[in-house]
Structure 1
Amino acid sequence: MNKDNLTKEELMKYICSNLGENLEFFKNDEVKKLVANSEECKKLLKSLDITVECYRNYNVEVSKESHERLIDYLGLKE
């Protein structure tokens, strides 16, 4: 992946694909540079940060159907 010419959609997919156990990529200098140049990316990262924080702090069971609807709504189905 050429990180110098990422579209916003590619950056979003890159970020979302790394939302597993390891969020260290947020500290990556290349990602910081990409995000620094886009207000939309800054807002997206802030939103993701809040979402991850909520996910970690609140133990809520979500049905498989709800999960699938959310993924579909977000357009993240492969």
Structure 2
Amino acid sequence: MFPILVLFAFFTLLSACSNQPLSHQSNAESVAVGDDRDVKGCIRSAGYSWCEYTAQCERPWELAKEQGFALENEGFANFCAEAN
């Protein structure tokens, strides 16, 4: 009885490791991680947002620490305004 349970558990775990996609997944769910760039090319899921002032994708918390402004949406928006 014990070997049968061990074999059952083994094959259950083995089937869970199958690399075939589940039939209920949509195409949106199968997008690669980091493949969610905005119109400027910033990867939103990695925390990047476009900054007009630096003309590049920035992580707000890193830029706030580097430039010394308050870490909040308004601080980032004010710093990155085109006419800074």
TM-score (structure 1 length as normaliser)? 0.24
Q: Which has the higher helix share?
A: 1
Q: Is the radius of gyration larger for structure 1 or structure 2?
A: 2
Structure number with greater CO (CA < 8 Å, separation at least 6) is 1
Q: Which has the higher strand share?
A: 2
